[in-house]
A and B are shown apart, each in its own frame.
Chain A
C-alpha cells in the first residue's frame, strides 16, 4: 500500500515537474526571442482570456512558416497583449507607431511553436504534415476547441489569396471609376502620368502612372491592406471625389500591416483578418462597393462611448 502510494506520489511529482519544465521551456524560448515581460506573467491567465475572446479558434493555422499551436498563441498574446493580439488576428491591424512588430511577432511565435504547454493550456495541437495541406482533421491532444479553422485548408487558402487580390483590384477599380477618386488634373482613368518627365531621373516613373489608390498601395513603408473596418471612411471620401482628402483619411486610419504575412499561400494561407466566418462565400467573387458597404456595416467594431453622466459622477468635472 505504502509502495503504491509512493509510486502515485512519484508519478504526480514527475508530472508536476514535467509541467513546470514545459512552461519553463516556453518562457526561456519566448524570452530568448522577444522583449521579455518576465517569468512571473501568468500564462494560464492569458490563456483563459484568449479562450474567452475566442482567439483559440486560430489554433491549427499557420502564420508564415509558423504552426499556430497553443505556445505560439501564448507568445503572440504576451508580445502584444491579449486583446490587441486578438484584434490583429481578426483584422490585420497592428498598433500605430510600433515598427517591426509583425517581425517580432513572427520571431516570438516561431521560437515557441512546438513546445507542449498543455500543462497550462489543457491541450496541445500538434503540427502534422497533413495539417499543412488540410487541417480539417486536426491533431489535437484534446478536442475541446483545438479544431482548426477552415482557413487552414489549401483550397481555402487559395480563396483567401484570390479574395484579397480581388479586394485590392476592386478598390483600385473603384478609385478609377466615376464613383471613386478622380485625378486632380482631370486626365481621367488612363495611366497618363507615365509620359511625364521624371525630374531627377531617379524616381520611379511608374509611381506617377498609377491611380490614387494604386499609388497608396505602392508607397514604400505605407504597406496598406485595406481591412473592412477602414473601408467606410475610404468610400465616404471616394464619394467626394477628393483624392487628397482620401489620402489624409487613409493615413489617418490605415495602420501599417505587413503584407508579407498575408502572402502566405504557400504556407497554408493564414491571413489575419480574413476568416471564413467574416467573409463567407464572397471572397472568391468580385466585390462591388455596395457589398463592401454591407460588409463594413457588419464588421465595424463598435466602441461603446460611456455615458457622460456616469463618467462625470465617477470622476468629477
Chain B
C-alpha cells in the first residue's frame, strides 16, 4: 500500500514536472510573409474567399510540424487590421494540414499569438494567446478546457416555478413540447461573468428529448439588460460549463463541452459567439 502511495506521488510529481516543462518550453510561432516561406500559392488558393471579403487585410504564415512527421503544416494569421491584439477578435489563427489529397483546416481560432509545446505523445498541443489550450483529436484541434484553466460553473436543480420561468428562454417549441415533464430537468447557476457586480444566469435544459446525442443539451446564458433578461449565449453542452480566464470587454470566455470536446465562446460586443470553428 505504501509502495502504491509512493508510486502515485511520484507519478503526480512527474506529471507536474511535465506540465511545468511544457509551459517553460512553449514556443511562440513566428509569422512572416507567405512569400518568404514559398507557400504563397497555397495560402492564396485556400484564402481566396477571405481575401475577397477583406481587401484591406493581410495574411501571414509560418511552417510548423504538429505531428512530428517532418512534413510541414502551415499556420496562418489572418489580419483584418494593421495589428493583432491579444484578447481581441481582430485576428484569426488557423492551422492547415495536408491530408486526403488536400489542405484541411485543423485549427481555427481568434487571437494574436500561437504557441506550441513539445508533444509528449502524438500531436503538439497548441495555445492561443497563452490562454486557450488546444489538443488534437479526431482530426482537429479541440479546446482543452482543463488545460485552459476553466472554472466549472456549479449548477443547481431549478424548482418547478423556476423551471417554468426559465423554460421560456428556450423558445416556444420547448414550451409546446411540455418539457416541464418529470423526465426533463432544468438546472441553473449564477456567475458574474462580466464583473459588473451582478450575476448572470446560466441555465441548462436536460433529459430525454431536450438533448441530442450529437450536440448535447441546450444552454442559455441570461444577462439583465435594462428591464429584461436577454439571452447572450445560446449553445449546447453534454457535460459541464466552464468560465475561462480569457475575457473580452470584461466578459469572460465560456467553454461548453460537446460530444467531441470543448467549444470556446467569446464575447463579440453584443453576445457570445463561437470563437473556435471546425
Contacts and interface: CB of A to CB of B under 8 A. Distances in A.
Interface of A: 34-37, 41-42, 45-46, 49, 52-53, 77-87, 95-101, 104-105, 184, 199-204, 207-208, 215, 218-220, 222, 244, 247, 252, 301-308, 310-312, 314-317
SS class of chain B's interface: helix, strand, loop or mixed? mixed
Contact of B165 (A85, A99, A252, A314): A314
Given A96-B274, A203-B51, A308 B227 contact: yes
B171 A97 contact: no
* Interface range on chain B (Cβ under 8 Å from partner): 35 or more
Interface of B: 40-42, 44-45, 48-49, 51-53, 55, 161-162, 165-166, 168-174, 176-179, 181, 183, 188, 190, 198-199, 201, 208-215, 217-218, 222, 224, 227-231, 235-236, 258-259, 263, 268, 273-274, 277-278
B230 A305 contact: yes
B211 A202 contact: no
A203 B41 CA distance: 8
Contact of A305 (B208, B229, B258): B229
A219 B53 CA distance: 10
B45 A101 contact: no
Among the interface residues B55, B168, B263, which one has the most CB atoms of the partner chain A within 10 A? B168
Contacts of B212: 37, 77-81, 84-85
Contacts of A100: 278
Contacts of A207: 48-49, 52
A204 B48 contact: yes
Contacts of B55: 184
A53 B172 CA distance: 10
Given A84-B212, A96-B235, A200-B40, A315 B173 contact: no
Given A36-B213, A104-B214, A308-B228, A86 B173 contact: yes
Contacts of B263: 97
A220 B217 CA distance: 29
Contacts of B231: 303, 305
Given A204-B48, A315-B162, A95 B215 contact: yes
A207 B181 CA distance: 51
A315 B190 contact: yes
A302 B256 CA distance: 25
A202 B41 contact: yes
25 contacts: A41-B208, A52-B177, A52-B178, A53-B173, A53-B177, A77-B209, A77-B212, A78-B212, A81-B212, A83-B170, A98-B214, A101-B214, A202-B42, A202-B44, A203-B44, A207-B52, A215-B49, A215-B53, A252-B268, A304-B168, A305-B230, A308-B229, A311-B165, A311-B222, A315-B162
Contact of A83 (B44, B51, B177, B228): B177
A107 to B, nearest CB: 10
A170 to B, nearest CB: 22
Nearest to A81: B212
Contacts of A219: 49
A307 B228 contact: yes
